[in-house]
Each structure stands twice: as structure tokens, then as C-alpha cells.
Amino acid sequence: MVNLEDLAISQLNDLNLPDSILIIPDGNGRWAKSQNLGTSEGHKTGGIKLMEVLKQFLKLKTKVIGIWGFSEDNWKRDKDEIDGIMSVIKNTIENNMDTFMENNVKFIRLGKEERLRKEYPEVFETLRKAEEDTKENDGKILAVFLDYGERFQLEEFAREREKDKETPTYDLLSKINKGLPLFDMVLRTSGELRTSGFGPLATLAEYVIIEKNLPEIGRNDFAQALIEYSQRQRRFGGRNLSK
């Protein structure tokens, strides 16, 4: 019997898919409010949905998926909400380590570490261990961005450029981001039309928006986003002479 899900994945893989995708997850709080639930429940459900997307990603020819889990500005939120976000991140990584190992996925964390290490040492240790345990994996890459944003990246880049005057800009940018390439596609949920200051790794990306809040999305929504991307023409400032 034909597995319909595998058939759908095969059809997606025939498309012009991005090599790298950044997900900006949004709408957990709004969804929770609409369901008369606490914000932490929204983050828990959003974490589950992200792992569903990850399992779909593992079957695609796309090589890198990034998740912007916590921005520089998210520290402005109430501590109870931050506690909930950090708990979801810790539990999600711990609960999916077998999946990472079985599928040859390298996990990497990017962003400032001082405050995270100080205020959430157990979360920091979980992330550090996940990086260490998967460092020899050479299949796909899952990158989680925490306490990360444009200000941090500009500061890091300026420090590296002071020491290294020769390396081309995008190569140096990749170097300070643990070898990650520029993202081809940025996927944002909840219908928001903004980058929220992620930073230069998304400079040349195609943006695809899903109108639904993160806890509402399903595999079909992710598939439709990939189809939309595949229909874009990326000219990088040039022209498509066939048109």
C-alpha cells in the first residue's frame, strides 16, 4: 500500500526547495488567549507543532532548518512567560535527542550565552550537551537561536572584522554563525509581516507568511509554504531574461 505522506514528501522533493529555512514562530500567546488558556500552554503547543514540522523536514532535501526561539528583546516579557518558554525549549530538546541521533542531525545553538547560562543553567546545560552529543553528525542541521538578534550579530561581526580584514563579508558572517549559510527562506507564522530584527543571516531570504498562529499549523501548511517558495524567482538584483 502506498503511504500517502511519503508520496506527498516525494512530490515536494521534486520542487525547487530551499537549502535552508528559518522559522520565526509567532502567535502562541494569541492562540492561548483565544482558547482561554495560559500563555505557557500556548508555548507548549507551539513546541509540539515545531517538532511536527521538524519530522517533516527530516524527509525533505532541505539541509538546514533554524528556529528563532528567543530574541534579544524577549527578555522584556514577564518572568513567568520566559520561564515557560525556557522550559519548553529544554523539554523539547531532551525529548527529541533520540530523533536527532537516529537521523544524523547536528544540533547547534546560536546567540548570547552569558545571561542564559546565569539565569537558566539547566536549560544552558541541556543545549550544551545536545551540541556536544551531535557534533559528529553530518546530515541535516537544526539551529536554535536564543538571545539572538541583529544587535548581537552586528557586534560580533565588528569584533571579527577588526581581527580579520580579508575574509569576504558573507564568509565572515557564516564563520561567526558556526558555519551556517544565509537562509534561503524565512517562514513566519501568525500573519505578521516583519523580520523583528533577526539579523543579516536572513538578508537575502524569501519571506513566506502563514496566517495561522503557530499552535494551529499542520503539515499541510508547511507544505503549502514550500510550494509557494518553489514558485518564486530569486534574481538577487539581476533580471530573468526569459521573461
Domain ranges, residue 62: 17-134+180-230
Do 50 and 214 form a contact (C-beta atoms < 8 A)?
A: yes
pLDDT band at 1 (very low <50, low <70, confident <90, very high): very low
> With 50 as the cut, is the pLDDT of residue 64 above it?
yes
Q: For residue 8, is it within any domain?
A: no
- Greater pLDDT, 2 or 234: 234
Domain count, the chain: 1
Concatenated DSSP letters of 123-134:
HHHHHHHHHHHH
Strand order across the 106-110 sheet: 106-110, 141-148, 64-71, 20-24, 185-188, 206-209
Q: Which has the minimum average pLDDT: 32-36, 51-55, 64-68, 155-159?
A: 51-55
Of 60, 49, 2, 58, residue with least CA distance to 26: 49
Q: What is the pLDDT of residues 69-106, one digit of tens each?
A: 999 999 999 999 999 999 999 999 999 999 999 999 99
Residue 157 located in a structural domain: no
CA angle (128 as vertex; 126, 130 as ends), nearest 5: 70
pLDDT (tens digit, 9 = 90+) per residue, 191-235?
A: 988 889 999 999 999 999 999 999 999 888 999 999 999 999 876
In a domain, 111, yes or no: yes
Residue 145 maps to a domain: no
Give the integer Cα–Cα distance in Å for 40 and 28.
8
pTM for the model:
0.93
Burial of 184-209, coded b for 16+ CB within 10 Å and e otherwise, reads bbbbbbbeeeebbebbebbeebbbbb
- Tell me the three state secondary structure of residue 114: helix
The CATH number given to whatever domain includes residue 50 is: 3.40.1180.10
pLDDT tens-digit series, residues 118-176: 999 999 999 999 999 999 999 999 999 999 999 999 999 999 999 999 999 999 999 99
Instruction: Provide the pLDDT for residue 2.
Output: 42
Within-domain flag for 149: no
Q: What is the pLDDT of residue 9?
A: 85
Instruction: Judge whether 128 lies within some domain.
Output: yes
Is residue 47 domain-resident? yes
Q: Cite the active site residues.
A: 26, 74
Considering only residues 123 and 7, tell me which one the structure prediction assigns the higher pLDDT: 123
